[in-house]
Structure 1
């Protein structure tokens, strides 16, 4: 009888520890997220399930072109790409991104740009940081984010600059559906 009690106790402790470790990982290190909407097409599809790395920005800062998840409101998280960092000036002209006056390559937009037919205009409309945010440069502690589906994305062009404090983490690993498993850039 004593041996059975000990086995139950050992199994209970092991399960308790396993659940505790799983909760710590889930709430402090990594968390799953489901892509909701088409603002990141073609890079991410509606319904893709991804892992968010929550610790990366605890020890560092966002990098240009990171795909990040952030609190857009109390009940809503958005997933977008970091385009501008603190100290940057952003501008778009003739479908070309300029950061601090230098043209930038955005290979993740190539397939969408190829799909545009003659006369359909540009993927990304012309704008400057000043026109969208009344700032000349992005202030410390903020980033400028955009969805890859530039014609259908509620991003910094509409909601303004994003506080780095509102960023949950970055993501690049799709784990579902099985046909999409992999790393995205």
Structure 2
């Protein structure tokens, strides 16, 4: 009788552990996953080795920070600047989308630190690998916040939306830097 009670209790623990493992797998596969920032392309917004949570739900919006598969073995983290059908242009460190200028408050600190010229050199989409006047359907134009040192759509072209892993705005490590990142 005692043996049966121990056996039943053990089975309950095993079931609970298996359910927890299955839930963890499903949540990571379909909803959230942790990532590690690798490199300086998003400074001063994000720094190398910070850890974040990627949300795999919903479509990316303008100025969201996204993670996408840049190559088979490498993911990049960048900011969405252009959506499908947008005309993107930079003039004198100012972003123009469809002819309308946009403020980029997340760049204020970096612009202030630049001593010799512009943070973002002037360009049009035609002068990038996009080689078009607009961001193609099903694609995003992305840029790192560290504009002088970011390999982004100006170099690798527009990103297919299906390569997007998800959006991110929550830094959870290091603990002293826990924060929500405002995407505007």
Q: Which residue of 2 aligns with 1:162?
A: 159
Distance 1:143 1:30 in 2: 21
Q: Which residue of 2 aligns with 1:103?
A: 101
* Number of equivalenced pairs: 179
What RMSD over aligned residues (CA atoms) do the two structures have, in Å? Answer: 0.7
Give TM-score, length-normalised by structure 2: 0.96
Q: Which residue of 1 aligns with 2:19?
A: 17
Query: Is 1:123 aligned to 2:119, yes or no?
Result: yes
Could you give the per-residue CA deviations for residues 22-76 of structure 1, whole angstroms, max 9, x where no partner exists? 11111111000000000000000000000000122xxxx3210000000000000
Q: Which residue of 2 aligns with 1:65?
A: 63
Q: Which runs of 5+ in 1 are unaligned?
A: none
Distance 2:101 2:11 in 1: 64
**What are the residue-to-residue correspondences of 1:40-119 with 2, within 5 Å?**
40-56=42-58, 61-117=59-115
Give TM-score, length-normalised by structure 1: 0.95
Distance 2:92 2:48 in 1: 28
Moved over 3 A (4+): none
Distance 1:154 1:115 in 2: 20
Distance 1:7 1:63 in 2: 49
Could you give the per-residue CA deviations for residues 107-141 of structure 1, whole angstroms, max 9, x where no partner exists? 00000111122xx1100011001111211111210
Q: Which runs of 5+ in 2 are unaligned?
A: none
